[in-house]
Structure 1
Amino acid sequence: MGFQRDSPKNSPKASPKKKTTLQHLFDLDSKPYIGSNLSSPTNGRQSSFGTEYEEILSAISDCNFIFTFTDPLESPSQQELKRLKLIQVLYLIKSSKKPLHERLLSPLMSMVSANLFRPLPPPSNTSIISDLPDDEELLSTFAPIWPHLQIVYDILLRLVLSVDPKTLRDYIDRHFILNLLFLFQSEDPRERESLKNVFHRIYSRFTFYRSLMRKAMNDVFLHYVFETERHCGIGELLEICGSIINGFAVPLKEEHKLFLMRVLLPLHKTKGLQVYHRQLAYCVSQFVQKEPALGGVVVRGILRYWPVTNCQKEVLLIGELEELVENIDPDQYRKLALLICTQITRCLSSCNSQTEQHGVGR
């Protein structure tokens, strides 16, 4: 009898052909989820990390190497490889359907700290600027390491949003928060924008740090007003404060009123007011809207810090007074009318046509 082929009925079921496309391999490479049980058998023994964890730990470890992007000896291909590794870590965190395991937090947060917390370069403009251009980009210095920093900030933001604050408390502590606050001095507006988002999210979720964070920001403002008048991130910090003030309950606490009088109002006197005036005016207006009786304190404070020779600041303050007058208590306005009209009269006699025009318009 010759060789007989098995009939389809009697033959063993053919196993499906495995996909070998690049897309399939990429999908397999990207599938590990971070929240699974860490124990898995390896060579007959229980291993604390499965292969998927070894992969992400390896990627995290590779990301600890810091590139400056200014050293000619650095390899562009290695810089790009690190960027891809950072993207891989971010993807694995985002795609996880289970909570991130605590044993990954330590290497992750160490990597984030190693990349973010660094000495900032000396300011590109060492003088205190009084006449600043309207275009912020003219004052900005863009960090060459931003291709890496951007992804690290995204990783940190994802951790803040997805991990229980009580779990992260061991890693995001007072020292970590103060280091973040220091980075607001960066001259790169992209970094300050990312910092603003992360810092605000920490304030929102880590309720046990709110008092600490408000006090730390107050210290930055006071140091800026009374000592240096040099800080790139005042506008971003005031944006955070504006959101915080918006959530204050009425009647306002005494400490919040002191913040208005001792911190926000003195910010009107600096030479760099025009850089952050929009955010400052919003913060102040929030207080007056919540308690119109504070209008008198605010108007007197602004008049106290009225510039003598800076016409640009005069124009800004005239506009702010106009908005405040619309919200203050009528009884307060009657008491303040003479002071306001006196200041507007001085503006009418100004030799600067722009100031005079705004004074007439009001």
Structure 2
Amino acid sequence: MDYSEKTSDIPEPKICISTSDFEHLEQRQTFYENYLEYLRGPEIESNKERGLIEQNVVPKILAQLDTELDEEREYLKAILCCAYQMCSGLRAYIQSEINNVFFRCIHETEQVDGIPELLEVFAEIIGGYEVPLKAEQEQFLVDILLPMHKLDNLEFYPTELVKCITQYLEKNNLLAGPLIVGLLRFWPKMSTKKEVLFIEELEGILEMADWLQFDVIQEPLFRQIAKCMSSTSSRVAEQALYLWVNPVVLSLVEANYEIIMPIVFPALHVISHNKWVEDIMDLALQVLSMFLRMDKNLFKELAFNFEAEREKGKQFELEREMRWKKVYELEAKNRALHFKDQKLQSTSQKLKFEFKIYPESIIEELKSELREPKHKLHQIYRPYAGSRKHSVQMKSTIRNFLLNVEKNEKT
């Protein structure tokens, strides 16, 4: 019997990736190796055309990437790269699915596991872009790569993110301007680790930037660098000062020192006198000496203006202290007057209350009985009080009031 005809009629099974049946890493590792061998085979394109590789493979790979096992993520990254290279019809779909994972990471979950591997995959994808870049390809830089800098877990994938940005700059160095503006927009305020990473990335971008765009971004850029040099964190201040050692940055500063020196001079002057770390003070003095060599007259003018501004600041502080001292004195006087007014007001309110309880006829009667003995007055007041304690208080208050009335009538 000829079995060749029988076997040719049997359809080949479709390839799918699912690790739910493999509980141990060794079993999954064998599965991944076999799948990689299949993808690298010579018949991959013909199998793709017959539908043996389907689109539902890509979401399963991306879902499996969210694992804590580094070795497993490396296998999945290799599978994803191989599928992108070998299956041209799946490339657009793979890019869109990876973009969806990045969007969820930025706006929803902030997933960490698998993000470095996906960035490495996308770095290879960016490396294959043709020049000039298309608008949608540059949009990925603005919509995904720049917003990923604001995430709290940036320290888990800085190298891979910088690699993607470097690939873009190699294709078009005019993107350095928007990149620097985006970094300044997402510059961290509370994390010193992220600030150090931002400065390192900024240095790499400046090395590949186009000088034509430097005039537009130099002022906000060096304002931020001055803030970093004045940081209370020694790591941030030191990393910012090391920028001045870079020859590319030095050449940019020498070409635009008239604009840059007034921006950074106050910070450098304060650091050179007040910083508690000796290495940072030495770096600041080196930068100041470099500025002195560039333009002595401008340096002296900036130093004079700085001292004048500092004297103005001291004078302003003294005047402010004097103004606050006057405010405190006025407040104390007002408090004393307010206390007297409250005392008088409480006394008048008590008298008004007594007049409401005791009619004028009773007060006249009390006037006539003022010189009577105390036991007789006690008998007079008793009908008009609710309790003994209240009666005694009322009697003393009205008695004092009537005595004052008689004194006024005599005078």
Q: TM-score range by the shorter chain?
A: 0.5 to 0.7
Asked if residue 146 in structure 1 is aligned to residue 25 in structure 2, the reply is: yes
Aligned to 2:148: 267
Which of residues 190, 208, 211 in structure 1 aligns to 2:92? Answer: 211
Aligned to 1:287: 168
Amino acid at match of 2:238: Q
**TM-score, with normalisation over the residues of structure 2?**
0.56
C-alpha distance in structure 2 between counterparts of 1:165 and 1:190, whole Å: 28
Amino acid at match of 1:46: Y
Q: 1:159 to 1:104 in 2, by over 3 A?
A: farther
C-alpha distance in structure 2 between counterparts of 1:355 and 1:174, whole Å: 46
Aligned to 2:228: 347
SS of equivalent residue, structure 1 residue 174 = coil
SS of equivalent residue, structure 2 residue 3 = strand
Q: 1:319 to 1:103 in 2, by over 3 A?
A: farther
C-alpha distance in structure 1 between counterparts of 2:11 and 2:28, whole Å: 20
SS of equivalent residue, structure 1 residue 231 = coil
Asked if residue 337 in structure 1 is aligned to residue 294 in structure 2, the reply is: no
Offset of residue 147 of structure 1: 0.7
SS of equivalent residue, structure 1 residue 326 = helix
Asked if residue 155 in structure 1 is aligned to residue 34 in structure 2, the reply is: yes
Asked if residue 224 in structure 1 is aligned to residue 105 in structure 2, the reply is: yes
Contact 1:299-1:321 within 8 A present in 2 as well = yes
Aligned to 1:302: 183
Asked if residue 166 in structure 1 is aligned to residue 123 in structure 2, the reply is: no
C-alpha distance in structure 2 between counterparts of 1:357 and 1:347, whole Å: 9
Aligned to 1:74: none
C-alpha distance in structure 2 between counterparts of 1:347 and 1:269, whole Å: 18
Amino acid at match of 1:230: Q
Runs of 5+ unmatched residues, structure 2: 244-411
Asked if residue 106 in structure 1 is aligned to residue 63 in structure 2, the reply is: no
Amino acid at match of 2:45: P
Amino acid at match of 2:205: L
C-alpha distance in structure 2 between counterparts of 1:231 and 1:273, whole Å: 9
Deviates more, 1:235-244 or 1:166-175: 166-175
**TM-score, with normalisation over the residues of structure 1?**
0.63
Offset of residue 49 of structure 1: 7.8
Contact 1:102-1:167 within 8 A present in 2 as well = no
The one-character-per-residue Cα deviations of 1:216-273 (angstroms, maximum 9, x if unpaired) are 1011001101111123000000000001111111100111000111111111110010
C-alpha distance in structure 2 between counterparts of 1:102 and 1:296, whole Å: 61
Contact 1:184-1:195 within 8 A present in 2 as well = yes
Offset of residue 328 of structure 1: 1.0
Amino acid at match of 1:314: E
Q: 1:295 to 1:271 in 2, by over 3 A?
A: same
The one-character-per-residue Cα deviations of 1:177-230 (angstroms, maximum 9, x if unpaired) are 111111111111111100000100000010111111111101100110111112
The one-character-per-residue Cα deviations of 1:23-58 (angstroms, maximum 9, x if unpaired) are xxxxxxxxxxxxxxxxxxxxx4637789xxxxxxxx
Higher helix share: 2
Aligned to 2:135: 254
SS of equivalent residue, structure 2 residue 209 = coil
* Number of matched pairs: 241
C-alpha distance in structure 2 between counterparts of 1:182 and 1:103, whole Å: 32
The one-character-per-residue Cα deviations of 1:77-110 (angstroms, maximum 9, x if unpaired) are xxxxxxxxxxxxxxxxxxxxxxxx9968517x35
Amino acid at match of 1:296: G
Aligned to 1:241: 122
Amino acid at match of 1:148: Q
C-alpha distance in structure 1 between counterparts of 2:232 and 2:179, whole Å: 27
SS of equivalent residue, structure 1 residue 185 = coil
Asked if residue 277 in structure 1 is aligned to residue 168 in structure 2, the reply is: no
C-alpha distance in structure 1 between counterparts of 2:188 and 2:160, whole Å: 19
Offset of residue 309 of structure 1: 0.4
Amino acid at match of 2:134: K
Aligned to 1:36: none
Offset of residue 164 of structure 1: 2.2
Asked if residue 311 in structure 1 is aligned to residue 192 in structure 2, the reply is: yes
Contact 1:318-1:359 within 8 A present in 2 as well = yes
Amino acid at match of 1:257: E
The one-character-per-residue Cα deviations of 1:329-354 (angstroms, maximum 9, x if unpaired) are 10112221112211111111211111
Which of residues 301, 323, 340 in structure 1 aligns to 2:204? Answer: 323
SS of equivalent residue, structure 2 residue 223 = helix
C-alpha distance in structure 2 between counterparts of 1:160 and 1:218, whole Å: 23
C-alpha distance in structure 2 between counterparts of 1:45 and 1:217, whole Å: 48
SS of equivalent residue, structure 2 residue 13 = helix
Aligned to 1:46: 3
Contact 2:176-2:209 within 8 A present in 1 as well = yes
C-alpha distance in structure 1 between counterparts of 2:189 and 2:229, whole Å: 14
Aligned to 2:383: none
Identical residues among aligned pairs (%): 29
